[in-house]
Amino acid sequence: MFWATWWVWVAVAIALGILEMLAPGFIFLGFAVGAAVVGFLLFFGIAPGLPWMLVLFAAISLATWLVLRRVVGVRKGQSKRIDIDINEL
C-alpha cells in the first residue's frame, strides 16, 4: 500500500512545504511537519497501521500548528493599524 511507503509521506511533506511558500501564514507547515515525521518513522522501520499513522500525523500536525501559532501568531490585544489610505495617494 502506498501509505506504508516512507517516501510517499516525505513527498507529501515536501509538497506541503512548497504550498506553504505559495500561501504563507503557517497554514500548511504544521501538516508538512506531521507528514515528514510519519515518513521518517516509516523510514526507520516503525510501521504502525494506517489508523495509527493518521493519528500520529494529526497529533503532530496539531501540536506543530499550535506551537507556530504561539511563536509567530498574533498576540493578544495586537491589532493592525493602517495610517495611509490607498485612495488618498
Average pLDDT, stretch 11-23? Answer: 93
At 64, which amino acid appears? T
Q: pLDDT digits over 42-65, tens only?
A: 999 888 888 999 999 999 999 999
Question: Taking 90 as the threshold, does the pLDDT of residue 79 lie above it?
Answer: no
* Cα–Cα distance, 56 to 27 (Å, whole number): 18
Q: For all residues of the chain together, what is the average pLDDT? A: 87
What is the reported pLDDT for 89? 64
Verdict on whether the full-model pTM lies above 0.75: yes
